[in-house]
Amino acid sequence: MFSFFGALVGLALAVGALAAAAPPIVTDAWIRATPPGAVTAAAYLTIASAGAADRLVGAATPAAGTVEIHTNVAEAGSQHMMRVAELALPAGGAVRLEPGGQHLMLIDLKAPMVPGTKVALSLRFAEGGTVEIDVPVVDARAQAAAPH
Amino acid sequence: MRGPKPRLRTRLGVTPRTATVAAAAAALGLGTWLVLAAHKAPPLEIHGYVLTTPRDLPADDLVDEHGEPFRLHDFVGHWSFLYFGYTYCPDVCPLTLVELTKVKLQLAADGFAEPSAYYFVSVDPRRDTPARLREYVTYFDQELRGLTGSAAALAALARATDTVFDASDDSRGEDSAGDNYLVSHSSNVVLLDPNGRVHAVFAPPHDPAKLAGDFTKIVERYEALR
């Protein structure tokens, strides 16, 4: 099971840029390996505040044309995926992007997401600057090993 | 020689044969009562709901992952799990299809031999051609089937299965004119019984072990009532 404090220890890849506020800490990132022919993929991760409140306002990767922040909204008894402009990160709190919930949608993939490879992802925060991470691609199918 | 009275007397007399008929009628009545009583029993508690009366699917115009016509009677003779989505969906569709394959593995591990089939129904026929569907579904499981159809057929199928979807409410707005658009859709899993009727709807989030357990309960009651 995911340990929040364990995640804090693994902050090594976070790179603060320019901004005065400390960058949020990103852990447990993974991208779902894609079926053949896929042009979209989902990335999941946990963002922990480094102290102050912040907002995830954008993301980008060389592996895809566009990255969007998506959330799931319950509406008329069913869930719908929806693009949002930003994701709020409460002071001292953490936000989890996980399957079936909030995630980053990679659109216009340059190539399929192959398990075992890593994909560069940059996350842009309103206060904390940009965080660059290398995200492993994981095969999450039933027959494959669990993602974590 | 054609006197009616002896015949009448024979019919009214309590012979072993009439006793058997009477017993059979009583048993039939009891059986009917048991069935009715079971129908009045509280609905099964599942994560989702069991329909009070199984619902027929509408006449359709569906096509499978090989581009072959798919008829309603193709749903007959086995239980069917249906999940509605589209192959461009990056998160909840792969997630649910993985969960469905886990349900299948769980049932096999439990030795549950009831034949069942699993279908991914694309509500995005504009992008999801049969060829695209085929490479998509077989990635998740070799036995997972893919279905799609005309807009009218999909709308009718969705209505009958308490499913909603909408390709027009893309939050991307003007950019959605191209090939990058989102389709909102229910995350329910629909269960058809071996008569090809809508029998139950499982609500998300789907826990494979729970879903397999709910399915087992549904099948047991269905068999008991047959």
Q: What secondary structure letter does DSSP report for B91?
A: S
Percent of chain A having pLDDT more than 70?
Answer: 79
Give the pLDDT confidence of A55-75 residue by residue, as tens digits: 999 999 999 999 999 998 776
pLDDT at residue B59, rounded to an integer: 80
**Encoded tokens for B71:** 């008829």
**Encoded tokens for A4:** 């929040």
pLDDT at residue A73, rounded to an integer: 78
pLDDT at residue B125, rounded to an integer: 93
Residue A136, exposed/middle/buried by CB under 10 A (0-12, 13-18, 19+)? middle
Q: How many CB pairs under 8 A join A and B?
A: 87
Give the pLDDT confidence of A7-43 residue by residue, as tens digits: 444 443 444 444 467 999 999 999 999 998 899 999 9
pLDDT at residue A77, rounded to an integer: 56
Please tell me which residue of chain A has the smallest CA distance to B104: A142
Task: Collapse the DSSP code of B46 into the 3-class scheme (helix H, G, I; strand E, B; otherwise coil) and give the result.
Answer: coil
Mean pLDDT of A109-135: 97
Q: Around Cβ A82, how many Cβ atoms within 10 Å?
A: 17
Percent of chain B having pLDDT more than 90?
Answer: 65
CB A127 within 8 A of CB A55: yes
Q: Higher pLDDT residue, B44 or B73?
A: B73
pLDDT at residue A80, rounded to an integer: 73
B135 contacts A35? CB cut-off 8 A: yes
Domains assigned to chain A? 22-145 (2.60.40.1890)
pLDDT at residue A72, rounded to an integer: 81
B91 contacts A103? CB cut-off 8 A: yes
Q: Residue A6: is its pLDDT beyond 60?
A: no
Q: What secondary structure letter does DSSP report for B217?
A: H
Given B92, B136, B140, which is nearest A37 (Cβ)?
A: B136
CB-based contacts of B49: which residues, under 8 Å, 6+ apart? Answer: B43, B200, B201, B203
- For B204, half-sphere exposure in the C-beta direction (CA atoms, 13 angstrom radius) is 26
Percent of chain B having pLDDT more than 70?
Answer: 77
Please tell me which residue of chain B has the smallest CA distance to A103: B91
pLDDT at residue B132, rounded to an integer: 96
Q: Higher pLDDT residue, B9 or A144?
A: A144
Smallest Cα distance from B102 to chain A, Å: 6
- pLDDT band, very low/low/confident/very high, at B182 (cuts 50, 70, 90): confident
pLDDT at residue A28, rounded to an integer: 97
| Lowest pLDDT segment from B21-35, B107-121, B195-209 | B21-35
pLDDT at residue B43, rounded to an integer: 72
Identify from B84, B87, B91, B99 which residue to disrupt to test chain A contact, counting A C-beta atoms within 10 A and taking the largest count: B91
- pLDDT band, very low/low/confident/very high, at A82 (cuts 50, 70, 90): confident
pLDDT at residue B142, rounded to an integer: 95
Q: Residue B168: is its pLDDT beyond 80?
A: no
pTM for the structure as a whole: 0.80
Sign of CA dihedral B56, B60, B65, B66: positive
Q: Write down the H helix ranges in chain B.
A: 4-12, 16-40, 92-109, 130-140, 151-160, 208-225
Q: Residue B16: is its pLDDT beyond 90?
A: no
User: CA-to-CA distance for A25 and A6, rounded, in angstroms?
Assistant: 12
Mean pLDDT of B55-61: 89
Task: Collapse the DSSP code of A71 into the 3-class scheme (helix H, G, I; strand E, B; otherwise coil) and give the result.
Answer: strand
List strand residue ranges (DSSP E) for A33-128, in order.
Answer: 40-48, 54-60, 64-75, 78-84, 87-89, 94-97, 103-109, 118-125
Mean pLDDT over each residue of chain B, to the nearest integer: 83
Give the pLDDT confidence of A91-116 residue by residue, as tens digits: 999 999 999 899 999 999 999 999 99
CB-based contacts of B214: which residues, under 8 Å, 6+ apart? Answer: B44, B46, B47, B48, B200, B202
Identify from A67, A72, A79, A138 which residue to disrupt to test chain B contact, counting B C-beta atoms within 10 A and taking the largest count: A79
CB A85 within 8 A of CB A59: no
